[in-house]
Amino acid sequence: MQTAIQPELFIKMVISNWEIQNTRLDKLLEDLSDEQLSAETAPGRNTGTYLLGHLIAINDGMQVLMSLGDKLYPDLQNIFVDNADKSGFTFPSIAELKTYWNKVNETLRQHFNNMQFSAWFTRHMAVSEEDFAKEPHRNKLNILINRTNHQSYHLGQMAYLKK
């Protein structure tokens, strides 16, 4: 006999997968030296430092998209999202980036743990109310699914930094 999946269970599964990706990246950051993290993931590709800053900026942006608050580090958007790795911007130090990474994800974790289950199925701020009425799948939970996949992709790139 097949049991219907309850929305609460589905939400827990999505959050769990986001946490798994965070844990994997945390472990990789522990294992990599600053020199390794500063290297390109492949010749002519992004550095690990840039990808870490990029992931911080993207995760930080979830707060605004999900109506959870303002970005903690809004300056990272221009450096790590709006511009490419070799744009000439000065990056925060690797130690600062690691601190930012932990702070953003802890802040999100607290928000996620305090969100009502029904809030996950409400619209995110990148979709209008009219469009959301037509496409209710464009909700906050979908943002987390998308960002988890995005993080997994870049984690795969950063894995090449291990020698």
| Cβ atoms 59, 147 nearer than 8 A | yes
Which residue ranges form the domains of the chain, and what is each CATH number?
A: 45-161 (1.20.120.450)
Compute the Cα dihedral for 93, 33, 63, 148 and give only its sign. positive
Q: How far apart are CA 30 and CA 18, in angstroms?
A: 19
Q: What is the pLDDT along the chain (163 residues), one digit of tens a residue?
A: 566 668 899 999 999 999 999 999 999 999 999 999 999 999 999 999 999 999 999 999 999 999 999 999 999 999 999 999 999 999 999 999 999 999 999 999 999 999 999 999 999 999 999 999 999 999 999 999 999 999 999 999 999 999 7
What is the rounded CA–CA span in Å between residue 115 and residue 136?
18
Task: Please say whether the beta carbons of 112 and 15 come within 8 A.
Answer: yes
Q: Can you read off the two tokens belonging to residue 100?
A: 């930012």
CA pair distance 70, 33, nearest whole angstrom: 32
Q: Using N-to-C axis directions, what is the helix angle for 7-31 and 94-114, rounded to 10°?
A: 170
